[in-house]
Amino acid sequence: MKKLLTALKRCAAAAAAALAIVSLQPVSAAQAAPSPVVGGTRAAQGEFPFMVRLSMGCGGALYTQQIVLTAAHCVNGSGANTSITATAGVVDLQSSSGRVQVRSTRVLQAPGYNGTGKDWALIKLAQPINLPTLKIATTAQYNTGDFTVAGWGAAREGGAQQRYQLKATVPFVSDATCKAYGGLYRGLVASEEICAGFAAGGVDTCQGDSGGPMFRKDNAGAWIQVGIVSWGDGCARPNAPGVYTEVSTFASAIASAASTL
């Protein structure tokens, strides 16, 4: 078990309302949460059309127009599930213009997920959402440089989730540097997780951002997903980067799982 309040997974505590205040009660690593984006700026309407807000208080991205890629710790196992509502098409969660809301039909949590590593899951929707999808990295080629993160999570540690989608840029942190920060980071699963953030802190994902994508431009100038918001030691603290599921490690497994939905 990882400690809270220091190890906040980036999902909100099963909030039904998009703007609910995150509970900071001690929970297990599988339930723990990272935020909206700390130190971010407001995203423009349509800037990241693949972004999805999930009703349990997490984020996600359209892997296909009918499948959302999110974090394993945001869902409770695999199987039929009609309890999740996916909201897409808006940066303002209170806007009705262009907003699309679709219920889930099935969830597939990463096989073998036990609260450490393998933090990915797929949610099948009742019908397709006619918006662009976000391709995922299939090699480690793009696991470096500067990344974009976006979400409706808290703008400060322990704060409320946001009405408007925020975005920020965070730099890659090597596995060796990330582990050297000590504490929780000694438990980094280097083959399955990737770190990003500033040594000085100030910019990070936080509660409510869990499951959302970390992405950058590929060589053709298109967005490509390299990470999934997973966990961190608080939000935007110095020497405490965000930790993200390394998507390229699981690209084949994700594709295989999606084909079964």
Active site residue ranges: 73, 119, 210
Report the residue count for the chain: 261
215-to-145, 228, 246 alpha-carbon distances in Å: 11, 9, 11
Helices (H), the chain: 175-180, 247-260
Identify residue 198 by its one-letter amino acid code: F
| Cβ pair 213, 167 in contact under 8 A | no
> In whole angstroms, what is the distance from residue 53 CA to residue 89 CA?
10
| Cβ pair 153, 209 in contact under 8 A | yes
- Cα-Cα end-to-end distance for the chain: 31
